[in-house]
Amino acid sequence: MTLGDLLEHAGVSRTAYYSLARRRSVVPRSVHALASALGVALSEILEESTTTIDEAVAARIAEARAICERFPGASFENVWHTLCLLESTPLERLNRSLTRGRSAALHGASKKAIGRPKDRAILPALEDALRTLRSRQKRR
């Protein structure tokens, strides 16, 4: 897996990654202050995940298979993709959609130009979200 693949999978931008890589610590100062105030090591107040990536993927595969067994007409790939998306926040999913829409527009194949029914159905919501984000940026 390349660094780019890892960052994309994690939803971390290259800018954020390199910003973190240059820091002495990636733990917020407030967490250091809490540990210091409690007189304990930082590792004692940070919770470590006991689930590995392999275990998480295996659990998602099992869940997708169980759903497909209950709904025989369901596509495993669609169920898998939906389960992946449900792990993201709505804002993260919206940002991904907008990014895909922007990149398609940059490559001369905008969703409007292609005119697929699924694109025509979602395009008004994406455009409205984009207008909202732009108006918020202007107010700042």
Spell out the domain ranges in the chain.
3-45, 89-140
Q: Which residue has the higher pLDDT, 64 or 52?
A: 64
| Amino acid in the structure at residue 37 | A
Q: Which two tokens stand for residue 9?
A: 């999978």
User: What gap in Å lies between CA 129 and CA 137, rounded to an integer?
Assistant: 12
Both tokens of 47, joined, read 């919770």
* Distance between CA atoms of residues 28 and 82, nearest Å: 32
pLDDT greater than 70 at residue 71: yes
What are the residue ranges of helices labelled H in 23-52?
A: 29-38, 42-45
65: confidence class by pLDDT, cuts 50, 70, 90: very high
70 pLDDT higher than 80: yes
Please tell me which residue, 107 or 65, carries the higher pLDDT value. Answer: 65
Q: What is the pLDDT of residue 24?
A: 66
Average pLDDT, the chain: 77
Q: Is the pLDDT of residue 80 over 80?
A: yes
Helices (H), 13-116: 14-22, 29-38, 42-45, 53-70, 76-86, 90-106, 111-114
With bands split at pLDDT 50, 70 and 90, how would you rate the model's confidence at 135?
confident
Residue 71 tokens, joined: 């709904």
**Among the listed residues 64, 60, 89, the one whose alpha carbon sits nearest the alpha carbon of residue 78:** 64
pTM: 0.39
Q: What mean pLDDT do residues 57-66 have?
A: 91
